[in-house]
Amino acid sequence: MDALGQSPLLDEIKSAIFFFLVALATSFIAYLKGFYKLEKSEKINLPTSYALSVFFIYALFYIGLGSLIVKFLKGYITKENSVGISVFFTISISLVTLFVLYIFCLKKRKEITFPIIKTFGENSKSLKYDMAFGSLSWIVAFPIVTFFSSIFDIFTFVIFKVQKIPDQVAIYFLKSTLSNPFYFILAMITIVILAPILEEFFFRGILQNFFKKFLNRWISIIFTSSIFAIIHFSYIQKLGNITIVGSIFIFSLFLGFIYEKQKSLISPIFLHATFNAINVLNLIFIKGV
Look at residue 114 in the predicted model and tell me its pLDDT. 47
Distance of alpha carbon 262 from alpha carbon 39, whole angstroms: 9
Give per-residue pLDDT as tens, 45-81.
Answer: 788 888 899 999 988 888 777 777 767 777 777 777 8
* Residue 70, helix vs strand vs coil: helix
Look at residue 258 in the predicted model and tell me its pLDDT. 96
The total of other beta-carbon atoms located within 10 Å of residue 21's CB is 12
Residue 6: which pLDDT band, with cuts at 50, 70 and 90?
Answer: low
| Angle, CA 81 vertex, CA 79 and CA 83 arms, to 5° | 90
Look at residue 116 in the predicted model and tell me its pLDDT. 43
pTM: 0.90
Q: Are 228 and 142 in contact (CB under 8 A)?
A: no
Distance of alpha carbon 289 from alpha carbon 285, whole angstroms: 8
Distance of alpha carbon 172 from alpha carbon 176, whole angstroms: 6
Look at residue 47 in the predicted model and tell me its pLDDT. 82
Output DSSP code: residue 80.
T
Distance of alpha carbon 283 from alpha carbon 240, whole angstroms: 18
Backbone angles phi, psi at 180, to 5 degrees: -130, 105
Distance of alpha carbon 245 from alpha carbon 240, whole angstroms: 8
| 117, pLDDT greater than 50 | no
Give per-residue pLDDT as tens, 239-278.
Answer: 889 999 999 999 999 999 999 999 889 999 999 999 999 9
| 120, pLDDT greater than 80 | no
Look at residue 289 in the predicted model and tell me its pLDDT. 53
Look at residue 222 in the predicted model and tell me its pLDDT. 97
| 4, pLDDT greater than 60 | no
Look at residue 105 in the predicted model and tell me its pLDDT. 82
Give per-residue pLDDT as tens, 10-39.
Answer: 999 999 999 999 999 999 999 999 999 998
- Average of pLDDT values for 179-186? 91
Residue type (1 letter), 63: I
